[in-house]
Amino acid sequence: MKKYIAEMIGTFALVFCGTGAIIINEISNGEITHLGIAMTFGLIVLAMIYALGDVSGAHFNPAVTIGFMVAKRMNLKETTFYIIAQVIGALIASITLKILFPQNQALGATFPSGSNMQSFLLEIILTFFLFFVIISVSTGAKEKGISAGIAIGATVGLEAMFAGKISGASMNPARSLAPAIVSGNIHSLWIYLIAPVIGAILAVYAFYLVKTEINY
Amino acid at 183: S
Do the domain assignments include residue 216? no
At 215, the pLDDT band (50, 70, 90 cuts) reads very low
| Alpha carbon 137 to chain centroid, angstroms | 17
Whether residue 41 contacts residue 57, with contact meaning beta carbons closer than 8 Å, is answered with: no
pLDDT on residue 216: 39
If one counts the domains in the chain, the total is: 1
Domain residues for the domain of 137 are 2-211
pLDDT in tens, 30-45: 999 999 999 999 999 9
pLDDT on residue 198: 98
φ/ψ of 139, rounded to 5, equals -110, 110
φ/ψ of 87, rounded to 5, equals -65, -40
pLDDT in tens, 79-101: 999 999 999 999 999 999 999 99
Q: What is the CATH number of the domain that holds 32?
A: 1.20.1080.10
Whether residue 89 contacts residue 15, with contact meaning beta carbons closer than 8 Å, is answered with: yes
pLDDT in tens, 100-119: 999 999 999 999 999 999 99
Do the domain assignments include residue 23? yes
pTM: 0.92
